[in-house]
Amino acid sequence: MTPKIIRTIAELRQEIAAYRRRNPEHSTVGFVPTMGYLHEGHASLLRKSASDNGLTVLSIFVNPLQFGPNEDLDKYPRDEERDIRVAAASGTQIVFIPDVNEMYPQKTLTGVTVAEITDRLCGSSRPGHFDGVATVVTKLFNIVQPDRAYFGMKDAQQIAVITRMTQDLNIPVEIVPCPIQREADGLALSSRNVYLKPAERDQALILSKSLPKVPEWLHEGLNAAQLINRLKEEIRKEPLAVIDYVDILSYPDLSTPDGQKPLIETDCTLLIALAVKFGKTRLIDNTILNPLKVGDGLCFAK
Amino acid sequence: MTPKIIRTIAELRQEIAAYRRRNPEHSTVGFVPTMGYLHEGHASLLRKSASDNGLTVLSIFVNPLQFGPNEDLDKYPRDEERDIRVAAASGTQIVFIPDVNEMYPQKTLTGVTVAEITDRLCGSSRPGHFDGVATVVTKLFNIVQPDRAYFGMKDAQQIAVITRMTQDLNIPVEIVPCPIQREADGLALSSRNVYLKPAERDQALILSKSLPKVPEWLHEGLNAAQLINRLKEEIRKEPLAVIDYVDILSYPDLSTPDGQKPLIETDCTLLIALAVKFGKTRLIDNTILNPLKVGDGLCFAK
């Protein structure tokens, strides 16, 4: 089925209100906010939403607020026609594509900021990024008023930030984290992968090859600093890899684990997160694991 | 009718959802957020809401986030029993009285901030105040999800800030400004009036006596600085009056009018706002007028 394409907030609200009126008791609205240029990762979020909810809304909006002055806002890849085909094939009923003027009709004086958990990982490399994300996601939640919203775990910190924001502000939406989707050879799917030159693309595989080795290293008794160094050594074997960060934090509160203790003894869920540049393209990848459960291998989320 | 007293967010949401289910088409929810210790000003907001909406929700919550370290959080006056009687007499169906732990069950990392229009008037005297207001009002809007929310014009800057915030964040609520309510002798109603000693209470009348003279002074051709000085001179006739600020700004965007031009020629709506301490009690008052319409006296809102 072809989804309905909507470009204004007023029309979107009408459409969703009409849907809720037609289905007063049982039907829920699922929402997948994106910046477009959809890949299989986005499609998996849409399919999950479509299986959980009566109505699935996809938004496509490249949000200027979350790009830094030297980032890739202007060249961020776009392909609306293909996005609509992907949406249709994934069970989406509504595609909301506002332009910048529809989302920011006047200078925005209001910002939503999340403290502490935004000052590390990508927040440290991209100052202001999560303020922009928190603000636009709040706006989109207020526009769509979904019951559930779906986000990919590739942006694990983003999920932590948005989950905390919805708790702190009492936003009535359930945040549903969904697993990272990968190419057949392991590369985490990202709209930015199209920027990679062939040699960069080859060497970028070091990220998805390194992360699965972490459980083994945990068993060697490494502490956080040692594990970070081991990961950095591994990644630096590829000459084009320029490390932005490699870090290990508890999840989802993103606090630093005890630095001295072997990580295998840590009694909390850990996020092992990487950001590495290949040429001009910055890629991120991560894994979540619970050291106490590494023994049986059940908890290592690929 | 006795209103239903609700102390948890979960129960409030259930109650409002049940109301909306019972009245799917026509009924709207009106909301009056307060810090309690209700006076006739609050009662007028509740009555207005009750006449506009099928369901009126009053919240009573003394929000720690909007008080500065040297302000009156601990001694802010409270009288829950009387508040409930006032609510009942004003057509309120639900009184929501959460405690601090219900509103802030964990350290709040998320803040809503409104820039520029919060750095003047009360925002300049009370740093952080409007961040606290914007954050708690966002939370309450997300909890109640009202169609309309009612605020008194005594806090004119607060209305400007909240209106801008709902626009910027696309919060689906209509902000309804309501006129200042006054004692028979003119003193603007405020929960803080109970702090005033008799001599302070007498002299505080200078605020409501000065503001109605503004149109006359406009006709003399005063510019903004001259009018501010005239008001200050007038207020200082009372020996207990200690001026915090006297200011004139456009409304609701709160920008400074051309300082040289006679105000009578200004082509925008003006806010004339005062904050004056009497003893330990800080009082505010204001008036809105449109100089181009002062001639016929229609626009002077008492």
Residue range A240-258: mean pLDDT, rounded: 95
Q: For residue A160, what is the nearest residue in chain B, using CA coordinates?
A: B109
What is the structure's pLDDT at A266? 86
Q: Which of B13, B27, B108, B109 to mutate to test the interface with A (most CBs of A within 10 A)?
A: B109
- pLDDT band of residue A291 (cuts 50, 70, 90) is confident
% of residues, chain B, pLDDT over 90: 87
What is the structure's pLDDT at A292? 66
pLDDT at A112 over 60: yes
Which of the residue ranges A235-249, A288-302, B38-52, B239-253 would you say has the lowest mean pLDDT? A288-302
Catalytic residues of B: 42
User: For residue A201, is it left (φ>0), alpha (ψ between -120 and 50) or beta?
Assistant: alpha
Chain B hits for A171, CB-CB cut-off 8 Å, are: 142
% of residues, chain A, pLDDT over 70: 96
**Cα Rg for chain B, rounded, in angstroms?**
20
Lookup: tokens for A76: 């961020």
Determine whether the interchain pair B110/A110 forms a contact, defined as Cβ–Cβ distance below 8 Å: no
- pLDDT band of residue A43 (cuts 50, 70, 90) is very high
What is the structure's pLDDT at B297? 38
A42 is catalytic: yes
Asked if A87 and A49 touch (Cβ cutoff 8 Å), the reply is no
What is the average pLDDT score of chain B?
A: 93
Instruction: Give the H/E segment covering residue B138.
Output: helix B129-144
Q: Chain A 224-253, CB below 8 Å of chain B: which residues?
A: none
What is the structure's pLDDT at A167? 98
Chain A hits for B145, CB-CB cut-off 8 Å, are: 172
pLDDT at A295 over 50: no
What is the structure's pLDDT at B266? 86
Query: From the list B109, B139, B164, which residue is nearest A117 (CB)?
Result: B109
- pLDDT band of residue B51 (cuts 50, 70, 90) is very high
**Cα Rg for chain A, rounded, in angstroms?**
20
Q: Chain A 11-30, CB below 8 Å of chain B: which residues?
A: 13, 21, 24-25
Q: For residue B108, what is the nearest residue in chain A, using CA coordinates?
A: A168
Query: Residue A123: how many CA atoms within 13 Å on its side-chain side?
Result: 20
- pLDDT band of residue A258 (cuts 50, 70, 90) is confident
Asked if A173 and A141 touch (Cβ cutoff 8 Å), the reply is yes
pLDDT, tens digit, for every residue of B84-128?
Answer: 999 999 999 999 999 999 999 999 999 999 999 999 999 999 999
Query: From the list B9, B24, B114, which residue is nearest A170 (CB)?
Result: B9
Query: From the list B115, B142, B145, which residue is nearest A169 (CB)?
Result: B142
pLDDT at A260 over 90: no
Find residue B110's DSSP bridge partners.
A114
pLDDT, tens digit, for every residue of B163-215?
Answer: 999 999 999 999 999 999 999 999 999 999 999 999 999 999 999 999 999 99
pLDDT at A1 over 80: no
What is the structure's pLDDT at B300? 35
Residue range B68-88: mean pLDDT, rounded: 93
Determine whether the interchain pair A110/B112 forms a contact, defined as Cβ–Cβ distance below 8 Å: yes
CA–CA distance from B13 to each of A280, B103, B135, B143, B178 (Å)? Answer: 48, 14, 19, 7, 26
Cα B48 to Cα A64: distance, rounded to the nearest angstrom: 40
Cα B11 versus chain centre, distance? 27
Residue range A250-273: mean pLDDT, rounded: 91
Which of the residue ranges A5-9, A254-258, B184-188 would you say has the lowest mean pLDDT? A254-258
Query: From the list A110, A169, A170, which residue is nearest B114 (CB)?
Result: A110
Chain B hits for A13, CB-CB cut-off 8 Å, are: 172
Chain A hits for B24, CB-CB cut-off 8 Å, are: 21, 24
Q: Is B103 marked as binding a ligand?
A: no
Domains of chain B: 4-178 (3.40.50.620), 197-296 (3.30.1300.10)
- pLDDT band of residue B302 (cuts 50, 70, 90) is very low
pLDDT, tens digit, for every residue of A161-220?
Answer: 999 999 999 999 999 999 999 999 999 999 999 999 999 999 999 999 999 999 999 999
What is the average pLDDT score of chain A?
A: 93
What is the structure's pLDDT at A293? 63
